């Protein structure tokens, strides 16, 4: 089967670290062009404008968007209107309404649209969901704490309205939660800690309503020093489970489960699996626009009690 020509828009850290290597390693894809005002990939045709790319390269079937969420809608809409399939880095848009509009446009044009949630592809997430499927939930506790200076240095857009703040990594945890719980939950309360010199939260605590009365909570914090923490602890009527390392490590009743990917790296295999999924969607004419993780984020901003905390500076 011939590879599909794809363009990558938004050549920053996540593109270089994850998207470019995943595309290069896959027989499904040929990286045919990039779109970026500043970045480029050696040996790949570069454009600075999405409309120019679409006009000059009608042979490119798929556009993968890696830029921050705020400008992503215009790029995605342009590609869809031109009849191209579109792959969206998480979160899929700056607002839910944007995502709904993109889905309607994709259906109108008969092309594939994929809202990716890379943490769902971590090594042990699927196995965790399978273990929980026939059990009654007692509690689920998310602790997602990391050092923003380490993982997002100099990225001022995350602190501006629309940049999500600590929910940029927090939505990764929510994407796992919504994938593994047998029954959906909805947010009932939240507290958002916002630095006095920023527009988005640096920390948040969430409290969810579960249809069976289970206690489901989450704590996100971008001020973590030392060891980074990405865990989901679940208690059921038939035992306990812990997903750690962002979904790469699974422990059930104190016994660590075998890791199919071998090295316990939370990012190992995530983006290759996303691109494999996109290839299947393109071949089948399918679409995947699950917005459930983003709904929880939107509800946190709607319901959240805002607390002003000390300024944050890099």
- Domains of the chain, start order: 4-115 (3.40.50.720), 119-262+298-309 (3.30.360.10)
- CA pair distance 258, 116, nearest whole angstrom: 26
Ramachandran assignment for 172, one of left (phi > 0), alpha (psi -120 to 50 degrees), beta (any other)? alpha
* Sheet containing 203-209: order of strands: 255-256, 249-252, 239-244, 229-236, 137-145, 215-221, 203-209, 186-195, 305-309
CA-based nearest residue to 283, from 82, 62, 123, 17: 62
Q: Which residues are catalytic?
A: 90
- CA pair distance 72, 157, nearest whole angstrom: 13
- CA pair distance 128, 180, nearest whole angstrom: 6
What is the reported pLDDT for 205?
Answer: 98
Within the chain, what is the greatest distance between any pair of CA atoms?
59
Burial class for 314, CB neighbours closer than 10 Å (0-12, 13-18, 19+):
exposed
CB within 8 A of 257, min separation 6: which ones? 124, 127, 250, 251
What is the reported pLDDT for 64?
Answer: 98
**Alpha helices for 140-231 (secondary structure H):** 148-151, 167-180
What is the reported pLDDT for 259?
Answer: 73
Cβ pair 202, 296 in contact under 8 A = no
Give the chain's residues under pLDDT 50: 262-267
CB within 8 A of 181, min separation 6: which ones? 132, 137, 140, 216
DSSP codes, 232-245: EEEEETTEEEEEEG
DSSP codes, 256-298: EPP-TTSS--TTTTHHHHHHHHHHHHHHHT--B---HHHHHHH
What is the reported pLDDT for 268?
Answer: 63
pTM strictly above 0.85: yes
- CA pair distance 227, 244, nearest whole angstrom: 13
């Amino acid at each position: 089967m011939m590879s599909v020509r794809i363009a990558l828009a938004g050549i920053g850290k996540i593109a270089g670290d994850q998207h470019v290597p995943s595309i290069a390693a896959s027989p499904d894809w040929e990286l045919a062009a990039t779109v970026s005002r500043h970045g480029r990939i050696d040996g790949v045709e570069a454009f600075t404008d999405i409309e120019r790319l679409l006009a000059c390269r009608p042979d490119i079937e798929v556009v993968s968007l890696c830029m921050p969420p705020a400008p992503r809608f215009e790029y995605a809409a342009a590609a869809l209107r031109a009849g191209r399939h579109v792959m969206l880095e998480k979160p899929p848009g700056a607002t839910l309404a944007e995502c709904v509009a993109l889905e309607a446009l994709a259906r109108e044009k008969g092309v594939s649209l994929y809202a990716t949630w890379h943490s769902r592809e971590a090594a042990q997430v699927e196995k965790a969901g399978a273990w929980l499927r026939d059990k009654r939930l007692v509690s689920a506790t998310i602790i997602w704490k990391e050092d923003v200076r380490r993982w997002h240095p100099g990225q001022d857009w995350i602190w501006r309205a629309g940049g999500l703040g600590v929910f940029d990594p927090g939505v990764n945890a929510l994407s796992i939660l919504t994938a593994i719980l047998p029954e959906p939950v909805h947010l009932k309360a939240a507290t958002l800690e916002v630095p006095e010199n920023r527009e988005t939260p640096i920390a948040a605590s969430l409290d969810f309503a579960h249809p069976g009365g289970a206690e489901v909570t989450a704590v996100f914090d971008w001020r973590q020093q030392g060891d980074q923490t990405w865990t989901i602890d679940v208690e059921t009527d038939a035992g306990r489970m812990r997903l750690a390392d962002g979904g790469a490590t699974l422990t059930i009743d104190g016994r660590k489960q075998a890791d199919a990917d071998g090295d316990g790296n939370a990012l190992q295999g995530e983006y290759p699996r996303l691109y494999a999924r996109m290839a299947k969607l393109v071949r089948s004419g399918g679409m995947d626009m699950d917005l459930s993780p983003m709904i929880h984020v939107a509800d946190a901003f709607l319901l959240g009690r805002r607390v002003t905390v000390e300024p944050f500076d890099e």
